[in-house]
């Protein structure tokens, strides 16, 4: 088996998009889905298959800790998230990835001392849910024929598709202009060390920006039990702001 690609290799190997977006492409979708996609993708914008993100924010380990990170999502292969977390003057570096159907996490203090590693079917299944949730950072993939949209109500639509063999259904809540307000899906996970199970997971979006003709959420609060009181008290574990995005 060949070694998994690095973040930079995954990005560099992505072919440039050639198709462009036209509103006619989504004309048959439910009104809420159409409103979202027409807001998220400008006419004539490339229908990208990958995005590279730079971000900063906080992650909740025992307390909230600052982090910086880069991420590549390449829809036909997976994602790699590479981050640095600071705690008590020490830097923890590591990555989460789901590439070619295999999920893995590895984290080290000072790049040397292992503090956490995980792999296996549960990590892969959880990673597929994460990639599905983050499809809002690559909205062009949500207007592909393989995605089935269903209207929930005037402000919510659900996109059903498959990631790494996992069938997922992502619910997007959008405002009257099509801006994403929240996202939610059933994701495989074990918050708090509980046994793995499907739980509500997602994020609340409070800001957006446009990059290369695509408008994406750029300020988010992310965690388990989204939509429940438990999100505020124990579910939220990640806050981020996107500083830059490049699509290909």
Please report the beta strands in 21-147, taking only residues with DSSP state E, as ranges in sequence order: 50-60, 64-74, 78-87, 90-99, 102-109, 113-119
Is residue 2 in some structural domain? Answer: no
**Residues 6 or more apart in contact with residue 150 via CB below 8 angstroms:** 30, 157, 158, 160
Is residue 1 in some structural domain? Answer: no
**End-to-end C-alpha distance for the chain, whole angstroms:** 27
Provide mean pLDDT across the span 190-203: 96
The domain of 195 spans 7-247
Is residue 55 in some structural domain? Answer: yes
Task: Specify burial of residue 71 (Cβ count, 10 A radius: 0-12, 13-18, 19+).
Answer: buried
Number of structural domains in the chain: 1
DSSP structure string for 159-198: EEEEETTEEEEEEEEE-TT--EEEEEEEEEE-GGGPPPEE
**Residues 6 or more apart in contact with residue 152 via CB below 8 angstroms:** 32, 158, 171
Is residue 11 in some structural domain? Answer: yes
Q: pTM above the 0.85 mark?
A: yes
Is residue 156 in some structural domain? Answer: yes
- Residue 224 near residue 189, CB atoms below 8 Å: yes
Least confidently predicted of 2-11, 30-39, 212-221:
2-11
In tens, the pLDDT along 133-142 reads 999 999 999 9
- Tokens matching residue 128: 């597929």
Above 90 in pLDDT, residue 116? no
User: Band of the pLDDT at 111, cuts 50, 70, 90?
Assistant: low
User: Band of the pLDDT at 89, cuts 50, 70, 90?
Assistant: confident
Above 80 in pLDDT, residue 1? no
User: Band of the pLDDT at 189, cuts 50, 70, 90?
Assistant: very high
Above 70 in pLDDT, residue 112? no
């Amino acid at each position: 088996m060949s070694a998994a690609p690095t973040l930079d290799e995954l990005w560099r190997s992505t072919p440039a998009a050639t198709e462009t977006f036209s509103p006619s492409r989504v004309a048959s979708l439910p009104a809420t889905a159409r409103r979202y996609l027409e807001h998220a993708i400008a006419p004539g914008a490339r229908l990208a298959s990958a995005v590279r993100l730079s971000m900063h924010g906080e992650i909740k380990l025992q307390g909230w800790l600052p982090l910086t990170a880069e991420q590549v999502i390449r829809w036909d292969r997976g994602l790699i998230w590479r981050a640095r977390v600071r705690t008590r003057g020490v830097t923890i570096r590591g990555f989460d990835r789901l590439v070619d159907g295999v999920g893995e996490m590895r984290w080290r203090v000072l790049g040397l001392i292992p503090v956490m590693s995980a792999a296996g079917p549960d990590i892969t299944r959880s990673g597929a849910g994460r990639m599905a949730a983050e499809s809002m950072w690559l909205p062009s993939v949500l207007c592909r024929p393989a995605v089935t949209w269903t209207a929930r109500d005037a402000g919510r639509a659900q996109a059903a598709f498959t990631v790494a063999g996992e069938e997922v259904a992502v619910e997007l809540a959008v405002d009257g202009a099509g801006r994403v307000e929240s996202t939610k899906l059933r994701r495989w996970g074990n918050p708090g060390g509980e046994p793995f199970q499907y739980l509500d997971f997602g994020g609340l979006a409070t800001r957006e920006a446009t990059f290369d003709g695509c408008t994406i959420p750029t300020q988010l609060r992310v965690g388990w039990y989204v939509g429940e009181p438990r999100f505020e008290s124990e579910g939220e574990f990640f806050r981020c702001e996107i500083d830059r995005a490049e699509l290909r």
